[in-house]
Amino acid sequence: MTTTDSAPVPAPAGARLHRPSLRTWIAVAAVLAAGGLSAGCAGTPDGGGNPPPAGAGAATQAPPSFADAAADAAANQIDNTATGIVPREQVYDGGHIIEVLQLAYDGQQPALAATDGRNPVIDEINDNIEATVYGDYDTASGPDSWADIRSYPFTSAEYLQIVTTGIVYPTYGTEGNVQSWVFDRQANVWVQPEQVYAEAGLVGDALTEAVTAAFVPDSDAESVSGVEPSGFRYVQGPDGWIPEFLLKITVANAQAEPWDGLFAYQPADAAGPALIKLNAECLFDPADMDTMDRPLMYARGGGAEDAEGTGGLWIRLPSYADVAQTGGGIDDAGNRWEEYVDDAGTVAVSIHRASAVAATDPVEIEAQVTGAVDAVDRETWRLEASPEASEAYTYPVHVFEYDAGANEDLRSHLGFYIQTDAGGFVLDCSIPADPWDEGHALAEDWMKHLELVDLS
């Protein structure tokens, strides 16, 4: 593992790494982030950044949560000016993304002499981060599973806040989990989510009722069937700090399987919707977060170390495509890849940056395409330039077709290779032989309405 840590702590035996399987056609209900050219990532699918601040209400006073008498007595003496958020572990290996943060502090200050240079509150937070993150996601082992753990740090004069999302692929019907840790620097206390939820009156049925009332479904078939309080963070409102509650909501669908999504809820918000669907790939506006010496995923650009393909130009399916993400990450060559399947299981889509250098010769293009997709039946391979697609996307485009598999596993493939300044990209649609006409029409429609976006 690669560890970057300003205050070194041995990594626990966990989060085992391996190269993921290139093809895992197991549906995961996730919402694609749609939008045009934009810098960085956004907190909402439409690139709107953080949910709007609350339009009314007074600042919320963070309640103390650490009961140790010695820590209470020393709370007003401990100087947390130099206390900050640092990486404990950063790994970008194959499909794995593992970002674990912690708090680092000055243990030499006189206020900590009685505790041998230890700050019990911060140590408790760090221990909880370790137990929670590694405990929940130490299941990514073997050749066919991989972890995606992303962290978001926020530093202010009053608070140090860490939000972490995590999921182990392959999985089905969920965007994973979200956790948070909020440290009051001035009071030297760990602000417990349970207390903040209780102060806002969002406990049990009251939380479910409030969220259900604020939920705006994408269709009449959708409804809230479960709400899980998963953490919070403080954000600035017009009158001071207010809590933004982080939730995992189970959305039932009368026409499809239920799915779990990540949401933010601000009950005092009068300037915008109280309930916001978060973008699971980047929860918040990067401008609001800390800048780390080694960039975390939310801040990675096209030239970032370890993950050259995480930023820059990328291809997205049209926003109306009803698909779920089955996987994604950075391969060993530093190229980004993502995989999706439509809700009916008719079309599976693979998007890869095949190489940092785009090919121009048909033989070179074939080599890049076949290096990124399933084993190709040579007798069915077809590749031809597409002037129409080239004009639409302002880059040279070649369309390809081929078959893979046999008997009940036979699938036909339709896709294209696009030559860009950022390299060669492959979009491959895999369609089972039985519903070929329906799947082919769906794939062709998506290919005509793709979005070229800038993730830098």
Lowest mean pLDDT among 42-56, 110-124, 177-191, 318-332: 42-56
Q: What is the mean pLDDT of the chain?
A: 77
Query: Does the structure show a pLDDT above 50 at 69?
Result: no
For residue 44, being part of any structural domain is answered with no
Query: Does the structure show a pLDDT above 50 at 318?
Result: yes
Check whether residue 179 and residue 259 sit in a common domain.
yes
Residue of 126 and 326 predicted with greater confidence: 126
For residue 448, being part of any structural domain is answered with yes
CATH number for the domain that contains residue 384? 3.40.1000.10
Strand, coil or helix: 169: strand
- The DSSP result for 266-282, as a single string, is -TT--SS-SEEE--TT-
Where residue 193 falls among pLDDT bands split at 50, 70, 90?
A: very high
Check whether residue 147 and residue 293 sit in a common domain.
yes
For residue 228, being part of any structural domain is answered with yes
Residue for token pair 């290779």: 417
Check whether residue 259 and residue 337 sit in a common domain.
no
**354's tokens:** 């095949």
Check whether residue 257 and residue 338 sit in a common domain.
no
Beta carbons within 10 angstroms of residue 152's beta carbon? 26
For residue 7, being part of any structural domain is answered with no
Check whether residue 357 and residue 283 sit in a common domain.
no
**Which of 247, 269, 299 corresponds to the end of one domain?**
299
**112's tokens:** 């900590």
**314's tokens:** 């990328």
Strand 96-104 vs strand 146-155: parallel, antiparallel, or unpaired? parallel
CATH number for the domain that contains residue 97? 3.30.565.40
For residue 194, being part of any structural domain is answered with yes
Check whether residue 239 and residue 271 sit in a common domain.
yes
For residue 46, being part of any structural domain is answered with no
Number of domains in the chain: 2
Lowest mean pLDDT among 8-22, 162-176, 262-276: 8-22
**Which of 275, 299, 323 corresponds to the end of one domain?**
299
Bond into 193 cis (ω within 30)? no
- Domain containing residue 395: 308-454
For residue 87, being part of any structural domain is answered with yes
For residue 431, being part of any structural domain is answered with yes
Euclidean distance between CA atoms 44 and 181, whole angstroms: 22
Check whether residue 283 and residue 375 sit in a common domain.
no
**Which of 282, 299, 316 corresponds to the end of one domain?**
299
Check whether residue 371 and residue 234 sit in a common domain.
no
Check whether residue 265 and residue 194 sit in a common domain.
yes
The pTM of the full predicted model, rounded to 2 decimals, is 0.57
Length of the chain: 456
Q: Backbone dihedral region of 90: left (phi > 0), alpha (psi from -120 to 50 degrees) or beta?
A: beta
Contact yes or no for 297/87 (Cβ under 8 A):
no
Contact yes or no for 257/243 (Cβ under 8 A):
no
Euclidean distance between CA atoms 271 and 406, whole angstroms: 56
Check whether residue 239 and residue 272 sit in a common domain.
yes
Euclidean distance between CA atoms 88 and 100, whole angstroms: 5
Check whether residue 328 and residue 289 sit in a common domain.
no
Check whether residue 289 and residue 408 sit in a common domain.
no
pLDDT digits (tens, 9 = 90+) for 142-168: 566 788 899 999 999 999 999 999 998
